[in-house]
Amino acid sequence: MGILSTVKRRVATRLLARSTRKGIDLRKLRFLPDSTTMPLKRDVLDPLPEMAQVRAEAPVKRIAEMFGKGIWLVSGYDEARALLANGAALSNDLGQFVSQEGRDDSEQIGGLGMTDPPAHTALRRYLTPEFTMRRLARLEPVIERIVDARLDAMAEQGPDVDLVDQFAFPIPFEVICELLDLPVDDRARFHSLGAARFDLSQGGVGVFGAAAHTREFLIGSVAKQRLDPGDGLIGALLRDHGDELDDVTLGGLADGVFLGGYETSASMLALGTYLLAQHPEAMALMAGDDAAAVDRVVEELLRHLTVVQLAFVRFARDDMEIAGAQIKAGDVLGISLLGANRDPAFTPDPDRFDPHRPTTRHLAFGHGIHRCVGAELARMELRIALRGLARRFPDLAITADPAELDFRKLSAVYGVDALPVRLFDDQPATLPAR
Ligand code: HEM
């Protein structure tokens, strides 16, 4: 970890120093101003009470100024949805503020999430065929196999295990390695790199450093597979579009899928288990045979937890007005997906986890042109993994107080880094996982 931190710091410092040449000093982002951190903080799983106060005052509110630009927090559902739908009015391109001069490949800022049309449209078109229901159906037995193996290993190791280490992290990580045909070794390294990618406690430093490191690995994997294409998504893209896509572009695409694919789903599995363990009725629904009820619980977990609590930062292209807010060209918008999904104008009693809540049009996967490309894969993983867990360990209990748990403090993806659980009191249940 020592060498890794040094490399990360070195790359990040170089990258951030370069941003000053474009007039914006991202180094100031080492510490986010207090007024901007509220949307990243929670009271265990709930937004802080300030979120509701701010939303009631103004669903689109100017909360700070940095580098001479207004910083706006969007916490209302209708406003968040409308802004996300209006791809033409906003830019995701953070790269425009960072000089490209002297850049090496792994330091390039990009990937789908930080790219605007027309490049975004072209890149996304490469990925969407790989995520159709037909393609995903082929992954289903793979996910089932991975989940069953984890459940067996836990039954053997239990009754006391760390659910993050034994279940929540390894399942999506192994799935995404299968999808991309990457070696599964080095899991621990990617666990810490993944968490660092979304951790804003040091502003840009950790995020950019960890990004450079992972991209280097993926660009290398693409170069290797170009010589000998694997069976996964990278190999398929190389076979079908190898002439159009260079290693860096494809490495960037793979990076979005890789990171999006394990960090977010791992948080959902950990926090989802935490919630289910406290709601026996929901746990029983997950273990039951009613597929529609299972779907409803999964959707309510997605809405209630909204692990991607803040969308990628957006910049206003032109002056605009929304909900009475006068936004200027270049202003920064923080769209709180958590704030939106917990807006009482969107769904009644929004802070209650209600496994019977009729399915909502929640924003846990975003909306508009950047909506999560892996949403259906994520849903499939959650259904299979949480259902298997509920069937195999229906009496699962959390063995730590919330105060003892290490919930992430300032991360765009909320989560917990360890979750001690007791899987069973005596013997594991004999119900089959499915
Ligand atoms: C429960 C798990 C997941 C959640 C909650 C989630 C959430 C999100 C959200 C909110 C966005 C949009 C961000 C924005 O508009 O600013 C997004 C984008 C994205 N997600 Fe996911 N995601 C999950 C799983 C996955 C998986 C499994 C994959 C890939 C296998 C994936 C790949 C991506 C990619 C590539 C984007 C960027 C899309 C674009 O910019 O066009 N995600 N995700």
80 lines ligand 1 (CB under 6 A): no
> CB of 378 closer than 6 A to ligand 1?
yes
Please indicate whether residue 113, judged by its CB atom, sits closer than 6 Å to ligand 1.
Answer: yes
| Closest by Cα among 336, 280, 275 to 300 | 275
CA dist., res. 206 & res. 195, Å (int): 10
Query: Among the atoms of ligand 1, which is closest to the Cα of residue 314?
Result: 16
**Ligand 1 atom 41, closest CA:** 370
Determine whether the shortest distance from the Cβ of 307 to ligand 1 is under 6 A.
yes
Q: Which atom of ligand 1 is nearest to the CA of 369?
A: 41
Asked whether 224 and 52 are in contact (CB, 8 A), the reply is: no
For 175, residues 6+ apart whose C-beta sits below 8 A from its C-beta are 139, 142, 143, 146, 261, 262, 265, 377, 381
Whole-number Å distance, alpha carbon 249 to ligand 1 midpoint, is 18
Closest to 60 in 3D by CA, of 44, 41, 47, 73? 73
Beta carbon of 313 within 6 Å of any ligand 1 atom: no
Site to substitute for ligand 1 among 264, 306, 382, most atoms within 8 A of C-beta: 264
CA–centroid distance, 303 to ligand 1, in Å, is: 14
* DSSP conformation class of 115: -
CA atoms within 13 A on the CB side of 325: 26
* Burial of residue 263 (number of CB atoms within 10 Å: 0-12, 13-18, 19+): buried
pLDDT for res 111:
72
Ligand 1 centroid to 375 CA: how many Å? 7
* Strand, coil or helix: 185: coil
State the pLDDT at residue 106: 45
C-alpha torsion sign, points 123, 129, 130, 133: positive
Mean pLDDT of successive 10-residue segments in the chain (434 residues)? 37 42 47 78 96 97 90 97 94 69 48 87 91 91 97 95 96 92 71 62 58 79 91 92 91 86 94 98 98 98 97 94 95 96 98 95 97 96 98 96 91 94 78 55
Structure tokens at 394: 């229906």
Instruction: Count CB neighbours of 353 within 10 A.
Output: 18
Provide the pLDDT for residue 128: 92
pTM value > 0.85: yes
Question: How many Å apart are CA 223 and CA 398, to the nearest integer?
Answer: 44
Residue in 372, 376, 411 to alter for ligand 1 test, most ligand atoms within 8 A of Cβ:
372
CATH C-level class of 2-93+116-422 = mainly alpha
Is residue 145 within 8 Å of 52, Cβ to Cβ?
no
Q: For ligand 1, atom 39, name the residue with the nearest CA.
A: 370
Q: Are 155 and 428 in contact (CB under 8 A)?
A: yes
**Residue ID of nearest Cα to ligand 1 atom 20:** 372
User: Helices 204-227 and 247-277, interaxial angle, to 10°?
Assistant: 120
Where along the chain do its domains lie? 2-93+116-422
Question: Is the CB of 16 within 6 Å of ligand 1?
Answer: no
Rounded to an integer, what distance in angstroms lies between the CA atom of residue 367 and that of residue 335? 11
Cα(53)–Cα(28) distance, integer angstroms: 28
CA atoms within 13 A on the CB side of 215: 24
Report how far ligand 1's centroid is from the alpha carbon of 412 (Å).
12
Q: In what order do the strands lie in the sheet with 69-74?
A: 60-66, 69-74, 332-335, 314-316, 90-91
pLDDT at position 260: 83
